[in-house]
Amino acid sequence: MKHLSSSEAIIINIIMFSRQCLSNTTRFIPTFAASRPPIHTLRWRWELSLWAMVITSGCLMLNAPTTTAFDIVTCNVPLGMESLVITDAQITASSAHDMGFVGPQHARLKNDNNGGAWCPKHMVSNALKEYLQVDLLQTHVITAIRTQGRFGKGQGQEYTEAYVLEYWRPGFDKWQRWKNIQGKEILPGNINTYSEVENALQPIIFASKIRIYPYGQYDRTVCLRIEIVGCPWDEGIVSYSIPKGVQRGMELDLSDKTYDGNEQGDRYVDGLGQLVDGQKGKDNFRTDIHGFGKGYEWIGWRNDTPGLLGNPVEIVFEFDTVRNFSAIVLHTNNMFTKDVQVFVHAKVFFSIGGRYFSGEPVQFSYMPDTIMDHARDVTIKLHHRVGKYLKINLFFAVKWIMLSEISFISVPALGNFTDEQDQRRNSASQAQDTRDDIRSNEFQRNKNKPIGAGGFAGGLGEGLASAAGDSGGNSKYKNGPQYRLFLRRLM
């Protein structure tokens, strides 16, 4: 058997460990076989330690968990009605025909216990007064709803022919009615008591609570079992604010068509929409991919739009907590033959309180690409800056900027953080205290000076004496430095 040299042993162990690392199975520092030849020199021991440290660090970085962009394709998991992950306490209703027998706790898909479904106390109609509510405790992405009627061990006869959805999440001041791309609110339900019907939701819903309102054209008795399909919303984004997108020609609406916030002048505020829905647009923004209309996946702004003339596109994100940001990824169009290019420059600002974006922004420049016209992800490294609010300014390279998706690589930040408004208030208070201390000290120094010594007391005595000795008023004294100093100290 060939005896290995020290250098050969090091190389073999590095290769073996690298293979383990790339196979994603290693989480520890490599060890070396006891049968390896002894390393006598300090140089080889140092080199071995150095290589082990380098390879281990690289492997741990490679295998470390990272926050990835939201993937709509994998967001299709039952959230727990059937499996009981959602507890009875999380399920409530406007009413029940019999709370123990057909109460909201029995509105679980494929459940046939007791009455076998939730049945509201009153008949339903198009008035939408009865509802089943599920509290998911934190914001989730809801991509589909599954429903059944009341089988009741073969005795049930009630089911829900149609229903309407409302949802709520932190930051909302009222419940939001869901609508599809065509603006329709009513979803088809069941045609019997046992079949399961699934409605995929487009647009998807970002919600921590959801209500299902049974709907009927005429008064009828209904019962309902459900499952909610989706995934947790781990991105931490509460809302974003953007300028309204614009129309391009007669057939391209480049606004944020699924935005669920409010309009405030020429901006959308306090909502979520297409920028975070996990659906990326294709290279040609005129393509109708899913039958929702040409350019559906894209939001676009023109540099001569009122409010944007000479200004960048400003997008502000609010997060659920202060986060440590590694990078931001923007999916942007670059169809330069149609006057669309990646932004030429970007500035990213950070804030704790959302009112003041202090500190130097992260700046990023992009070399214009007039060769390849494919859409692309542009990554801006954020160097572990922290904030609860993040503002992005995107500067036009040509006439149009188009975005399809924005995602972040970030984690919740550890520590206590102070709102910039409080910092400004504290700084102003400290400055005022400093001025007060200076005035107080000056007053005490002058107070201790003898009369006539040029201090405050002396100046005052001299002024009174001069005034008493000059019946017409001593204009020389009144215009002199002592008198002006006296007035300033009184102020």
Q: Can you give the pLDDT at residue 121?
A: 96
Convert the pLDDT of each residue in 148-203 to its tens digit.
999 988 888 999 999 999 999 999 999 999 999 899 999 999 999 999 999 999 99
Q: Span 451-477, mean pLDDT?
A: 41
pLDDT band with cut points at 50, 70 and 90 for residue 15: low
Q: Can you give the pLDDT at residue 310?
A: 86
Q: Can you give the pLDDT at residue 439?
A: 59
Give the count of beta carbons closer than 10 Å to the beta carbon of residue 64: 8
Give the number of C-alpha atoms closer than 13 A to the C-alpha of residue 166, restricted to the C-beta side.
Answer: 15
| Residue 380 reports pLDDT greater than 60 | yes
181 within 8 A of 245, measured Cβ to Cβ: no
Q: Can you give the pLDDT at residue 309?
A: 87
SS3 sequence of 130-142: CCEEEEEEEEEEE
Highest-confidence segment of 33-42, 156-165, 462-471: 156-165
Q: Span 15-30, mean pLDDT?
A: 43
Rounded CA separation 104/102 (Å): 7
Q: Can you give the pLDDT at residue 388?
A: 96
| Residue 298 reports pLDDT greater than 90 | yes
Q: Say if 72-232 and 243-412 have the same CATH topology.
A: yes
Rounded CA separation 477/473 (Å): 9
Q: Can you give the pLDDT at residue 430?
A: 55
The full DSSP string for 237-306 is: EEEEEEEPP-EETTTEE-S-TT--SEEETTEEEEE--GGGSS----SSTT--SSSS-TTTT-EEEETTST
Q: Can you give the pLDDT at residue 454?
A: 44
Burial of 426 (0-12, 13-18, 19+ CB in 10 A): exposed
Domain ranges of the chain: 6-63, 72-232, 243-412, 422-490
Burial of 317 (0-12, 13-18, 19+ CB in 10 A): buried
For the chain, how big is the Rg over CA atoms in Å? Answer: 35
Rounded CA separation 47/454 (Å): 78
102 within 8 A of 150, measured Cβ to Cβ: yes
Rounded CA separation 275/204 (Å): 12
| Residue 363 reports pLDDT greater than 60 | yes
For the structural domain made of 243-412, what CATH number should be given? 2.60.120.1190
| Residue 25 reports pLDDT greater than 80 | no
Does residue 155 or residue 268 have the better pLDDT? 268
Rounded CA separation 251/206 (Å): 28
- Provide CB contacts within 8 A for 438, sequence distance 6+: none
| Residue 342 reports pLDDT greater than 60 | yes
- From the list 157, 97, 93, 104, the residue with the least C-alpha distance to 121 is 97
Query: What are the b/e assignments for 386-404, b being 16+ CB within 10 Å?
Result: bbbbbbbbbbbbbebbbbb
- The token pair that represents 146 in the structure block: 């599954």
Percent residues over pLDDT 70 in the chain:
72
CATH superfamily of 72-232: Galactose-binding domain-like (2.60.120.260)
| Residue 458 reports pLDDT greater than 70 | no
Give the count of beta carbons closer than 10 Å to the beta carbon of residue 127: 11
Q: Can you give the pLDDT at residue 420?
A: 73
449 within 8 A of 457, measured Cβ to Cβ: yes
Convert the pLDDT of each residue in 93-128 to its tens digit.
999 999 999 999 999 999 999 999 999 999 999 999
- Provide CB contacts within 8 A for 180, sequence distance 6+: 201, 202, 203
Give the count of beta carbons closer than 10 Å to the beta carbon of residue 280: 15
Q: Can you give the pLDDT at residue 49?
A: 60
Q: Can you give the pLDDT at residue 52?
A: 56
Q: Span 241-259, mean pLDDT?
A: 90
* Amino acid letter for position 384: H
- The token pair that represents 84 in the structure block: 């009981």
Q: Can you give the pLDDT at residue 55?
A: 55
Convert the pLDDT of each residue in 44-91 to its tens digit.
556 656 555 555 444 444 443 345 578 889 999 999 999 999 999 999
Q: Residue with structure tokens 């007053």? A: 443
DSSP code at position 342: -
Q: Round the average pLDDT of the chain to a whole number and report it.
A: 82
* Amino acid letter for position 297: E
135 within 8 A of 92, measured Cβ to Cβ: yes
Question: What are the angstrom distances between the C-alpha of 458 and each of 52, 226, 284?
Answer: 81, 90, 86
pLDDT band with cut points at 50, 70 and 90 for residue 232: very high
- From the list 256, 260, 231, the residue with the least C-alpha distance to 144 is 231
| Residue 9 reports pLDDT greater than 60 | no
- From the list 78, 119, 113, the residue with the least C-alpha distance to 95 is 119
Rounded CA separation 286/252 (Å): 7
Convert the pLDDT of each residue in 396-436 to its tens digit.
999 999 999 999 999 999 888 888 766 555 555 555 555 56
| Residue 468 reports pLDDT greater than 70 | no
Rounded CA separation 315/338 (Å): 24
Convert the pLDDT of each residue in 382-397 to its tens digit.
999 999 999 999 999 9
Q: Is 222 helix (H, G, I), strand (E, B) or coil?
A: coil
